[in-house]
Amino acid sequence: MTLRKYIRYQFNFLDLAKP
C-alpha cells in the first residue's frame, strides 16, 4: 500500500463524514 492511497482514503472519509 502506498502513502498516497492512505491519504486518499482519509480524504474520502472526511468527505463521507461531511453532512
Confidence at residue 16, expressed as pLDDT on a 0 to 100 scale = 83
The span from the CA of 3 to the CA of 8, in Å, is 9
Rounded to 5°, angle at Cα 3 from 15 and 18: 10
Confidence at residue 18, expressed as pLDDT on a 0 to 100 scale = 79
Confidence at residue 19, expressed as pLDDT on a 0 to 100 scale = 77
Confidence at residue 15, expressed as pLDDT on a 0 to 100 scale = 85
- pLDDT string in tens for the chain (19-residue length): 788 988 888 888 888 877 7
- CA torsion sign for 12, 10, 15, 8 is negative
Confidence at residue 17, expressed as pLDDT on a 0 to 100 scale = 78
Confidence at residue 14, expressed as pLDDT on a 0 to 100 scale = 84
pTM of the predicted model over 0.75: no
